[in-house]
Structures are given as C-alpha cells and as structure tokens.
Structure 1
Amino acid sequence: MLGGEGGKAVEYLKVDIYIHAKHKGNPRGAGEATAILEFISRKNEAHIRKATAAVENDTKNALTLKVIVTALKMLIKPCEVVLHTDNEYIKSCVALGWLETWRQQDWRKANGKQPANMELWKGFYISMQIHKITFMPYEDRQEFNNEN
C-alpha cells in the first residue's frame, strides 16, 4: 500500500515487465523487441501479456524504448512496475536525471538539441508520472528463448 490523496491508502498492482530486444546494425539497423508483462490480479490470478515493437532503420535504444512505451500503455491503472532490461542508456537517462532535465528545458539537451526519439521519451515520461517505475537487471526468460 502506498499513500494516496486525502490520506487514503492506494494499492498499486505490481507488474514485472521483461524486455528483450534483437537488433542488427551498429548503430542503426533493423530489429524486433518483446515485452512480457507479468502480474497477479487482485483475485490472485496470474496473468501474462505481451507487447512487441519493430524498427527498420533505428538504434537498439530506440527499439527498446519503443517496446517499453508500448508495454506501459497497456496498463490501464497506476501500477508499481519493475522494468527488467539490459539497456543501460535508458536506465541512465532516468537514474542520472537526464529525462527530467530534458523536460524542464523544453525537451532540449544541454547542447540545445532535442534528444533523439523525443516523442518516445515524452511517452515514457508521462508513464513515469502515472506509474511507480523501477529498474532491475535483465533476466533471461524462457518465453524469449521460444521465439523464432
């Protein structure tokens, strides 16, 4: 339970999102990413959902961010989310405060330029305002090993 408005306790649904991205090209190329969402409902029922994303000529960071935003949009109520990813850049943008700084500077980096994939970053930022999001290291998942 987490504190809510007016002193009422709010119970957030806990959701684990496991991110796996396959990308060919350095830095730009084609790739596909999958997000596996796992949660236990308030009725104590296990649920698994899947989100996918693809790019034809973009970076692995863009691909990973795209599937994260797609997965977070699937959540219809505020949740406590654990993102399992090996993408250090996305984790660093949050942990080092870059994302918040970009927002405060009208979506501009210190050099005055817009960050790459700005619309995806804006979508991720909005999701961070709705959900309590933390990061954990990526764990290999059986679901990913069965993909073709």
Structure 2
Amino acid sequence: MDLKRVEMYADGACLGNPGPGGWAALLRYGEREKLVSGGEDHTTNNRMELLAVISGLKALKEPCRVDVFTDSRYLQGAFAKGWLENWRTNGWRRADRRPVENQDLWQALLQALGTHQVEFHWVKGHAGHPENERVDREARRQASLRKRGLGENRT
C-alpha cells in the first residue's frame, strides 16, 4: 500500500522559559496545506516543540509517510542519536539516572507516531527557511496570545 507523503514543519516558542508558550505545525500534502497551532500558559520551549509534532501527527486522518522538519536539536536528536530508545530502555531515565524531562509528551509522541512512517530532519532556525519561519511566527503569536490571556488550549 502506498502511503501519502506529507511534509510537516513544526516549531515551538516560549516567552520566558518557563513562561507562556505556543506551538505550530504546518502540514503539506501536494498543494494542500493545513496549519494547526495552540499554546499553554506556563510551559517550556521543549514542551512546545514536542506538542507541535504530536498535534501535527494527530491532525492526519490516515497513516502517512511524514517528513518532519524541525529546528529543535532536542527533538531531532532524540531520534537521530538514539536518546529516545535509550530513555525507554532505561525506564525513562537519562544516562545520569535522573528522570527524563517531558516523559508524558515523549510517550504521547511515540503513540502518535504509531501508524505513520516518520523521518525527522533538522533545519537551521531563523535562517530564512520559509516554512520554518512561518511556523515560528505562528508559535510566537500563540505564545503572545497566552501571555495576554487570550489563547485557547488546542492540543
């Protein structure tokens, strides 16, 4: 069965770390695009990076091949460098035996990945990549809305 090939551009932002945060994911299939976004009142940038990808994957209606483009070394490194598999094997503990931060979201991400074939790609942030700049603007807009008490949780 040939799966649809989807590009996802995902980013998170935080005003203060922790502070009000936002996330955004742009999904592209051929000429069709869908932008999903949201935020939280008190969070961290890493949590927003993870929520962007989780929410983007949840927005897909069927199993797909997904190329995820992110400027988050934290997110991309978890897969490319095997951190995530090591954390799972070690009972969600890091090499120094401390608990893994954001375990709830890593587990949610693993669940969201379940039906899809996903490959993560790192892009340099704030370097003129049009789609990365677009999701960055939306994530920062969501964080700003949260700061002003105007945002909704849309995860």
- Does the aligned pair in 2 maintain the 1:99–1:125 contact within 8 Å? no
Cα drift, residue 52 of structure 1: 1.2
1:64-91: CA deviations, max 9, x gaps? 1012111111223221111111111111
Selected match of 2:86 from 76, 101, 112: 101
In the alignment, structure 1 residue 13 sits paired with structure 2 residue 33: no
| Alignment match, 2:108 | 123
Q: Which runs of 5+ in 1 are unaligned?
A: 1-9, 41-45
**Equivalent-residue separation in structure 1 for 2:109 and 2:14 (angstroms):** 21
The RMSD of aligned alpha carbons is 2.2
Return the TM-score normalized by structure 2.
Answer: 0.74
Deviation at 1:145, TM superposition (A): 8.2
Say how many residue pairs are matched. Answer: 133
Q: Which residue of 1 aligns with 2:14?
A: 23
Offset, 1:144: 4.6
Gaps of 5+ in 2: 142-155
Higher Cα Rg, which structure: 1
Question: Contact 2:14–2:43 at 8 Å: present in 1 too?
Answer: no
CA distance in 1, matches of 2:93, 2:137: 40
- Residue 69 of structure 1 pairs with residue 48 of structure 2: no
The answer to whether the Cα contact below 8 Å between 2:57 and 2:113 also exists between their aligned partners in 1 is no
Q: By percentage of residues, which structure has more strand?
A: 1
Q: Give SS of 1:123's match.
A: helix
Q: Write out the 4+ residue segments of structure 1 that deviate beyond 4 Å after TM superposition.
A: 142-148
1:130 alignment partner AA: T
Which has more helix, going by share of residues?
A: 2
Q: Distance in 1 between matches of 2:22 and 2:96?
A: 31
Give identity over the alignment, percent.
Answer: 26
Aligned counterpart, 1:37:
27
Shift of 1:23: 2.0
Cα distance in structure 1, aligned partners of 2:65 and 2:104: 23
Which string of whole-angstrom CA distances, capped at 9 and with x for unpartnered residues, describes residues 8-47 of structure 1? Answer: xx2111111112333211x31212121111113xxxxx32
